[in-house]
Chain A
Amino acid sequence: KAGVTQTPRYLIKTRGQQVTLSCSPISGHRSVSWYQQTPGQGLQFLFEYFSETQRNKGNFPGRFSGRQFSNSRSEMNVSTLELGDSALYLCASSFGLKETQYFGPGTRLLVL
C-alpha cells in the first residue's frame, strides 16, 4: 500500500507570495492533519480534516488555510508569505479520527 505523498517536496518563495501544498493520504484513510515543523519548536498543529470537514484548527493566523476534497486529498494554502513561514510542512493521514497517524515526507518551504 502506498504511503502518504506530499507535493512538492521543496519550494522556494519570496515574501508576499502565496503557496499551495498538496497531500494525498494512504488509500482508504479519511482523516488528514497538517503540522508545521521548525527547529526548536517541534511539530505545531495546523489543521485536522475528516470527510471534507475541518475538525480542528491550530493557533495560526488566518493566512493559513486548508481544505479536504471528496477523495480525501488535502491542500493547505499560505498567503502573503513571511520569512517565519519557512519550515517543513508535514501531512499525516489516519483511517479515522483518533487513530494512528502516518506521516508523509513533508514539503520543505523556504521563504526569501
Chain B
Amino acid sequence: QQPVQSPQAVILREGEDAVINCSSSKALYSVHWYRQKHGEAPVFLMILLKGGEQKGHEKISASFNEKKQQSSLYLTASQLSYSGTYFCGTETSGNTPLVFGKGTRLSVIA
C-alpha cells in the first residue's frame, strides 16, 4: 500500500520552514525519508522506527506518530540546497518491502 504524501509541491523562500507529511492506511513498522535532486539518485536522510521517536539531521528533523500512522518531515530555515523531491518510504512489517510515496517537490528560492 503506497503511502500518501502531502503537499505534492511547495515553494519556499530561503529561511522559511516547511512540513512534509506521509500517511499510511496500515500500521507502520518504519518510515524512511529520502531526498532526490533533479537528475540524481535519491539520498538517504533518516529512518524512524515505530515508537514515536523524533530524529534530526542538521536543520531537518522528522517525527513518527505510530497511532496516527503517519510521519512528518520538518525543514527549518530552508536553504537553496534543500530543493529537490522528498520521498517517504514505509514498511508495514518486518517482512514487507519498502514502499515509497509519490514524492513532494520542494523548491527554495532566494
Q: How many residues of B contact A (CB 8 A)?
A: 23
Contacts of B40 in A (CB 8 A): 105
A24 to chain B, nearest CB (A): 14
Report how far A33 CA is from B34 CA in the complex, Å: 15
Contact of A102 among B2, B44, B95, B96 (CB under 8 A): B44
**Chain B neighbourhood of A41, CB < 8 A:** 102
A101 CA to B96 CA, complexed, in Å: 14
In-complex Cβ contact of B91 among A4, A58, A98 (8 A): A98
User: Shortest Cβ distance from A47 into chain B, in angstroms?
Assistant: 8
Interface residues of A (CB under 8 A from B): 4, 33, 35, 40-45, 48, 55-56, 58, 90, 98, 100-106
Q: Please give the residue numbers on chain B whose beta carbons come within 8 Å of chain A beta carbons, in ascending order.
A: 2, 30, 32, 34, 40-44, 47, 87, 89, 91, 94-103
Distance in angstroms between the alpha carbons of A44 and B100 in the assembled complex: 7
Residues from chain B with Cβ under 8 Å of A45 in the complex: 97-100
A55 adjacent to B97 (CB under 8 Å): yes
Q: Enumerate 24 A-B pairs (CB-CB under 8 Å) in ascending A order.
A: A4-B41, A33-B97, A33-B98, A35-B100, A40-B102, A42-B2, A43-B89, A45-B98, A45-B99, A45-B100, A55-B95, A55-B97, A56-B96, A58-B97, A90-B42, A98-B30, A98-B91, A100-B44, A100-B47, A101-B32, A101-B44, A101-B98, A103-B43, A105-B40
